[in-house]
């Protein structure tokens, strides 16, 4: 009995030791220095042609109709990937499990894209407290914290979600904006710190950009100079 136990323990230790030494790519299972090998990382879906203002994928790479008609309150978007399989599955898993392998490389790609820019604050898009309690961890804040550390910029939890937002899925752009009314507020004590700031607003996945646009309006009303939006991936808008 005891011999079996020791044999099993030793096998487990060897397995862990081996897995620490031989990292495998999560997609092709080849040995790799990182959790996603360079070839599989290059094969992940990127945005392709997109609107230079809101980053919505399109076929011409020019300003989209929405930005021409109603320019968003944010100034620029940095988004290295398109929210499509297999990347969408990876991000979805990470939203529920903080230490999902491979996501660190997505974050690094975003950091690389942002590294030549300077910001005064990094601000995460907040969750409603009840949702946070249910989820158990805050992926957006974790992402914002990593960006803040790597870009040497202060993280500021300046925005709060004061009420839950009705599920945005299936709503068009106009309905999404109406749905967001009164959902977010700026913390009063941080408002004076936002004046003339160049802000990096962080979300994990952006769909229409309605939430970030709404928060950007609040930040600009408080005197922020520019808002740059950073996210891991973006979905093509439905309407």
Q: Which stretches of the chain bind Zn ion, using CB under 5 A?
A: 25, 27-28, 37, 40, 51, 53-54, 56, 64, 67
Complex with Zn ion: residue 67 or 151, whichever CB lies closer: 67
The least distance separating Zn ion from the CB of residue 94, rounded to whole angstroms, comes to: 18
Alpha-carbon distance of 119 to 215, in angstroms, equals: 17
Nearest Cα residue to 166 out of 217, 232, 211: 211
Q: Radius of gyration (Cα) for the chain, nearest Å? A: 20
Q: Which is nearer to Zn ion, 37 or 171 (CB)?
A: 37
Nearest CB to Zn ion, comparing residues 53 and 121: 53
Query: Please, what is the minimum distance in Å from the beta carbon of residue 50 to Zn ion?
Result: 8
C-alpha–C-alpha distance, residues 183 and 194, integer Å: 20
Residue 39 or 157: the one with the smaller Cβ distance to Zn ion is 39
In contact, 202 and 228? CB cutoff 8 Å: no
- Residue 68 CB, shortest distance to Zn ion, in Å, is 8
Smaller CB separation from Zn ion, 100 or 150: 100
- According to DSSP, the residues that pair with 31 across neighbouring strands are 24
Q: Tell me the closest approach of the beta carbon of residue 9 to Zn ion, in angstroms.
A: 32
Minimum CB–partner distance for residue 67 and Zn ion (Å): 3
Q: 104 with 213: CB under 8 angstroms?
A: no
Residues 170 and 190: their CA atoms lie apart, in Å, by: 34
**Phi, psi (rounded to 5 degrees) for 74:** -85, 155
- Considering only CA atoms, which of 195, 173, 37, 14 is closest in space to residue 105? 37
């Amino acid at each position: 009995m005891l011999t079996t136990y020791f044999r099993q323990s030793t096998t487990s230790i060897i397995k862990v030791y081996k897995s620490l030494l031989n990292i495998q790519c999560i997609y092709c299972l080849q040995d790799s220095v990182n959790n996603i090998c360079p070839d599989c990382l290059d094969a992940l879906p990127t945005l392709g042609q997109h609107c230079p203002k809101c980053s919505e994928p399109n076929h011409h790479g020019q300003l989209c109709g929405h930005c021409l008609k109603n320019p968003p309150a944010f100034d620029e978007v940095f988004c290295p990937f398109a929210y499509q399989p297999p990347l969408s599955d990876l991000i979805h898993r990470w939203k529920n499990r903080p230490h999902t392998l491979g996501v660190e490389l997505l974050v690094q790609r975003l950091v690389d894209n942002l590294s030549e820019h300077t910001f005064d604050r990094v601000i995460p898009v907040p969750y409603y407290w009840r949702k946070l309690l249910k989820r158990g961890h805050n992926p957006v804040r974790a992402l914002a914290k990593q960006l803040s550390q790597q870009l040497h910029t202060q993280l500021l939890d300046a925005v709060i979600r004061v009420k839950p937002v009705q599920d945005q899925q299936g709503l068009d752009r106009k309905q999404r904006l109406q749905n967001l009314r009164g959902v977010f507020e700026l913390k009063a004590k941080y408002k004076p710190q936002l004046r003339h700031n160049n802000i990096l607003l962080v979300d994990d996945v952006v769909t229409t950009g309605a939430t970030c646009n709404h928060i950007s309006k609040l930040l600009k009303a408080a005197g922020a100079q520019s808002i740059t939006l950073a996210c891991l991936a973006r979905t093509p808008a439905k309407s």
